[in-house]
Structure 1
Amino acid sequence: MKDSIKKTFKTFKYLVLFFTIGYWIYIVIDDYSFIENYWSANELLYIRVWAGYYLACLLVFSIYFWLVSLIGILIYHKFIKRKATLSN
């Protein structure tokens, strides 16, 4: 089971990397009009708001990912793998 969690953590690291890159590219494209018009007045405010949304989205992503992953790992190790071992 430890091996499955290690593999899942490795997958999670790559997904977080892709999520981070995708989020920051998306936020610049989505808010480009705000950047052009208002960036010089409130640049720190925009960065704080974007970082807050990023952290909130990352937290939700992490909770869902680990919830689904751990349930899948537990089902596999407790039922599927045990059933295959018992039938042999």
Structure 2
Amino acid sequence: MGLTLYRLEGCPHCEYVVDRLDELDLDFESIWVEGLHSKRDEVKRVSGQRDVPVLIDDERGITMSESERIVEHLDRSYVPA
């Protein structure tokens, strides 16, 4: 599948990750989640928690949350040397 980003509309942390994905010209699938934490069952199923953003990087076998960590991962893994 590649990269999948679980995100919430209007979430500044999610947009920070999206901006970096766009800057790196990376294709990704967005999965929009519910505003209420208690309704984010799919996020909990894939990541063990209900916060967003959550990135799934199938190519590297990584699932991670927290926007700063996600951007660091993208920079480490996808910025050309």
Q: What TM-score bracket applies, with the shorter chain setting the length?
A: under 0.3
Tell which structure's C-alpha radius of gyration is larger: 1
Q: Counting helix residues as a fraction of each chain, which structure ranks higher?
A: 1
Give the structure with the larger strand fraction. Answer: 2
TM-score by length of 2: 0.28
